[in-house]
Structure 1
Amino acid sequence: MRDVNRLQEMEVFLAVVDEGSFSAAALARGMTPSAVSKMMTRLERRLDATLMRRTTRRIRITDEGAAFARSARGILAALDQAEREVGAGPVAGTVRIATSSAYANHILAPILPALLRRHAELEIELLIGDGLADMGGRPIDLAVRAGPLPDTAMRARSLGVSEIVTVRAPGAVEGLLAFAYPRRDPIWRAEGARVRASDGATLAALARHGAGTARVGRFTVREALAEGRLELVPGSPSAGEEFHVVYIGRAAALPARVSTVIEHLVREGRVDA
């Protein structure tokens, strides 16, 4: 039986070729650099060929690697054509979406039922995580990303700009709440935070319970602000963060199931609504 991961290996290899490094390919594919490295080692072992020479700064593709890249592009182009031919078919199958817990809970959860009612054969799998993480080697159709996009060939559609607000509960403990991992945008910097968490939804929940002061997307605390459980901190700087739905992997010839979900997110899943 053929290994179903062969197509993914080809896609990741081409990402390395196009991006020039494991780290850049990892960003483009929604993986970690170590996962990309392991996959490329496995590919070379299976082919019994050296496809690339690794240095501390760059990846140099060998003649064998260049030949394999040409063949892989042809195979993926043929697959694109096959998908294009069935793209107008029924909206059926599974769409895997990588997204943050905050977006999943506050935006996706309310808007998915209508989509699922319209398309009885559509299934959704949500892969939740705020930070860049390896999704266990599983294919991802779409990703919802917040903040600046990496400089890659990925396609993206805007989901609006989320207002970043600084909030605390009445009588909250003194101290800051912050993300437990580095964020690309400096608006999230919080020196000396007393409590850190790996996702925005948890930070918002901690703020609601009075554990400190947090900077969060307004869409995550809209109800708590309206109900008086949270209050805006006077004098805090204003900021915004743009959200995008990103096409991970090949951008051309999207199946109907994927393009349908994208259009639903762009229309109903905005963070500034």
Structure 2
Amino acid sequence: MRDTNRLQEMDVFLAVVDEGSFSAAALARRMTPSAVSKMMSRLELRLGVTLMRRTTRSITITDEGTAFARSARGILAALDQAEREVGCGPVAGIVRIATSAAYANHILAPILPALLRQYPDLEIELLIGDGLIDMGGQPVDLGVRAGPLPDSTMRAQSLGVSEVITVRAAGGPHDPIGFAYARRDPIWREAASRLRATDGNTLAALALHGNGTARVGRFLVREELATGRLQLVPDAPVAREEFHVVYLGKAAALPARVSTVVAHLVRKGRVDR
């Protein structure tokens, strides 16, 4: 086990190089000149080289000292980058989000540009699909899930509750073909549905083109209902489905890049606005 604080030695040595004297480096690092001098002597003894030549008036960095300074700057810069990536610095890096096409198109698409403008070093990668992803075995930071959450080690924050409604094109047939989500949850079952899909956008598009009725989340068709392009089917049952953003680990320990995206989704990405 090493007792020597090698990172501190590098930091103080670089302060001597940058400030040009022990006294100035001591002031910059809140140390005494004597402590700086002793630390530099121990560093040179441990390395077995002369890093600097001292006179009563000046300090000259040797070739070995110049090479060590260059390496030390790289090491400390890499340490700073590592700390930033795990949340001790600016919001930067890639956040991978597993989500459905419906949520991505109707909720994420309008709210992500503002987030990316606010954090220019942040990158978002969307993994689109309705299937469940093993977040422990895949390079995924966040997932957006609809419906009941299974018992697991995942943490979750609510994104609201979506109404599941039945719609059809305005003026469409009253005895149309039914379209439904191919999911086990009975709230998605459409009476006599002859076509099933795993994508809510596809179901909404089928209904919009006058082909029949579809069970969809209200947030998918909010605009079409407002403009009258789609209408609610009278007396059709209305169900409710919870949405969550899920992740592994405690919120307090998430990297800054991930916790920032979670906070943005909870604040702006609700399905019941």
**Matched position secondary structure for 1:201:** helix
Question: Structure 2: how far apart are the matches of 1:85 and 1:120?
Answer: 15
**Matched position secondary structure for 1:194:** strand
**Matched position secondary structure for 2:193:** coil
2:164 matched to 1:164? Answer: yes
In the alignment, residue 129 of structure 2 is paired with which amino acid? Answer: G
**Which residue in the other structure is 1:234 paired with?**
234
Say if 2:164 and 2:188, in contact at 8 Å, map to a contact too: no
Unpaired runs of at least 5, structure 1: 1-81
Per-residue Cα deviation, 1:88-136 (whole angstroms, up to 9, x for no partner): 311000000000101000000000011000000000000001122579x
**Which residue in the other structure is 2:75 paired with?**
none
Question: Structure 2: how far apart are the matches of 1:120 and 1:265?
Answer: 18
- Report the CA distance between 1:154 and its aligned residue: 1.2
Counterparts of 1:39-58 in structure 2, within 5 Å, are none
- Report the CA distance between 1:153 and its aligned residue: 2.2
- Report the CA distance between 1:171 and its aligned residue: 3.8
Unpaired runs of at least 5, structure 2: 1-81
Say if 1:107 and 1:269, in contact at 8 Å, map to a contact too: yes
Based on CA coordinates, which of the two structures has the bigger radius of gyration?
Answer: 2
Question: Structure 2: how far apart are the matches of 1:257 and 1:244?
Answer: 19
Say if 1:130 and 1:200, in contact at 8 Å, map to a contact too: no
- Report the CA distance between 1:215 and its aligned residue: 1.1
**Which residue in the other structure is 1:151 paired with?**
151
In the alignment, residue 108 of structure 1 is paired with which amino acid? Answer: L
Question: Structure 2: how far apart are the matches of 1:92 and 1:209?
Answer: 43
**Matched position secondary structure for 1:204:** helix
Deviation larger for 259-268 or 194-203: 194-203
Question: Structure 1: how far apart are the matches of 2:258 and 2:133?
Answer: 22
2:179 matched to 1:177? Answer: yes
Do the aligned partners of residues 211 and 83 (structure 1) sit closer, same or farther apart at CA in structure 2, a change above 3 Å counting? farther
**Which residue in the other structure is 1:116 paired with?**
116
Counterparts of 1:1-273 in structure 2, within 5 Å, are 86-132=86-132, 138-172=138-172, 174-180=176-182, 182-183=183-184, 185-190=185-190, 192-247=192-247, 249-251=248-250, 253-273=253-273
Say if 1:203 and 1:214, in contact at 8 Å, map to a contact too: yes
Question: Structure 2: how far apart are the matches of 1:120 and 1:237?
Answer: 45
- Report the CA distance between 1:84 and its aligned residue: 9.6
Deviation larger for 118-127 or 137-146: 137-146
Question: Structure 1: how far apart are the matches of 2:143 and 2:96?
Answer: 8
Do the aligned partners of residues 172 and 194 (structure 1) sit closer, same or farther apart at CA in structure 2, a change above 3 Å counting? farther
Question: Structure 2: how far apart are the matches of 1:230 and 1:83?
Answer: 51
Per-residue Cα deviation, 1:147-204 (whole angstroms, up to 9, x for no partner): 1011112110000001111100134351110123x33x32112353222212111111
**Matched position secondary structure for 2:90:** coil
Q: CA RMSD in A?
A: 2.1
Higher RCO, Cα 8 Å, sep 6+: 1
Length, aligned pairs only: 188
In the alignment, residue 194 of structure 1 is paired with which amino acid? Answer: R
Quick one: percent identity of the two aligned structures? Answer: 74
